[in-house]
Amino acid sequence: MTPRRARAARALAALGALALALASATPAGAGGPPGRLPPTRAEPSFGAPLTRAMARLAAAIASDDPAGALATFFPEAAYVRLKTGEIPDPAGDYENRLVALLRLDVAAYHAVLDAGSPARFVRVEADPAFARWIPPGACENSLGYWHEPGVRLVFAHDHRLVSVEVDSLISWRGVWYVVHLGPNPRARDVGTVLSYTLGPGRPGPPGGC
């Protein structure tokens, strides 16, 4: 072997060793799509991660942008993982019920918050004490996850504070997602604003899954 080839072989070997070391130091599955990775039992944060997610949702509502709201919505892959073996057609239920209702709800929330003058998002109100680990087997779910009910989006609208409720959030691997914007269940499949009120309102009530 020539000196040049020997140096190249040593360099390749060093790169291979570095790649192996990095792979060993990286948790299995890290960096993959969040919906395709299993949930974790670690308690989610109620600080910046929740505020970021709810600010994106509020912006989508304010601009009547269902596609923007879908960016904050529970991933389909995660929903299918939860429901496989529990309901007949998880993917169909996701698209035909959950996503369809989200689109209707975004339009309904926008109509309320855009009447008179556009609303401006101010903050999110949530009670961490309401967070609950939903164990596998509960609520027709095959896996466990963290659930938070009754989060409120507070807006400045027509020179006063108003707020609306987000029915249900799921934290999946530390990321907060909307799973129901309006009420679940509901009597009719129409866009429905949940708990519009003057002022910031109160988060909750606890419960649900």
Task: Give the percent of the chain with pLDDT over 70.
Answer: 84
For 1-12, how does the pLDDT look when each residue is reduced to its tens digit (9 = 90+)?
A: 444 444 433 433
For 98-122, how does the pLDDT look when each residue is reduced to its tens digit (9 = 90+)?
A: 999 999 999 999 999 998 889 999 9
Check residue 158 and give left, alpha or beta (phi > 0: left; psi -120 to 50: alpha). Answer: left
pLDDT reported for residue 18: 29
Q: What is the mean pLDDT of the chain?
A: 86
Please state which of the ranges 21-30, 39-48, 134-143, 158-167 shows the lowest mean pLDDT: 21-30
Residues 6+ apart with CB under 8 A from 207: 149
pLDDT reported for residue 12: 30
For 45-85, how does the pLDDT look when each residue is reduced to its tens digit (9 = 90+)?
A: 999 999 999 999 999 999 999 999 999 999 999 999 999 99
Beta-strand runs (E) in the chain: 120-125, 132-134, 145-157, 160-172, 175-180, 197-198
Instruction: Judge contact between 105 and 182, C-beta under 8 A.
Output: yes
pLDDT reported for residue 39: 87
> What is the Rg, in whole angstroms, of the alpha carbon atoms belonging to the chain?
22
pLDDT reported for residue 106: 98
Torsion of the alpha carbons at 131, 132, 134 and 140, rounded to the nearest 10? -60
pLDDT reported for residue 66: 97
Instruction: Judge contact between 163 and 155, C-beta under 8 A.
Output: yes
Helix pair 100-113, 48-62: axis angle to 10 deg = 80
Euclidean distance between CA atoms 154 and 176, whole angstroms:
18
pLDDT reported for residue 13: 36
Instruction: Judge contact between 74 and 82, C-beta under 8 A.
Output: no
pLDDT reported for residue 35: 77
pLDDT reported for residue 32: 55
